[in-house]
Amino acid sequence: MQRRAFEVQLAADAAASAAGAPEPGPGPVDVDLTAIRVPTHVVSGAHDMDLMRASAAHVAAQVPGAELTELAWAGHLPALERPGAVVALLLDVLRGDPTVHAP
């Protein structure tokens, strides 16, 4: 899966370069998390890197009404570690939203 992602990105970079587009690079991105007005549920893994856990907590604190779930068993990719548990979590969250039709 990751190999395919690299192949796609390399092809996109080559096409952009051939079209004369500037090289992509890092740059600041200003995002006003307090302006988000959709139901938001942030999920992080307790065994992920501190930066990722702090980022998840920051997003959950800034987005109005957001909820944060930290999965005690998870690292960085909980959907790959325990797909069934993540599906169950998503279904529980979606079922709790009256605007979403339960499966």
Q: What is the pLDDT of residues 27-81, one digit of tens each?
A: 888 999 999 999 999 999 999 999 999 999 999 999 999 999 999 999 999 999 9
> Residue 67 pairs with which residues in a beta bridge?
41
Determine the Cα–Cα distance for residues 92 and 73; give it in Å rounded to an integer.
Answer: 18
Boundaries of every domain in the chain? 28-95
pTM across the whole model: 0.70
In degrees rounded to 5, what are phi and psi of residue 67? Answer: -115, 150
- Tell me the residue type at 38: V
Least confident of 17-21, 39-43, 84-88: 17-21
Q: Which of 82, 100, 99 is nearest to 43 (CA)?
A: 82
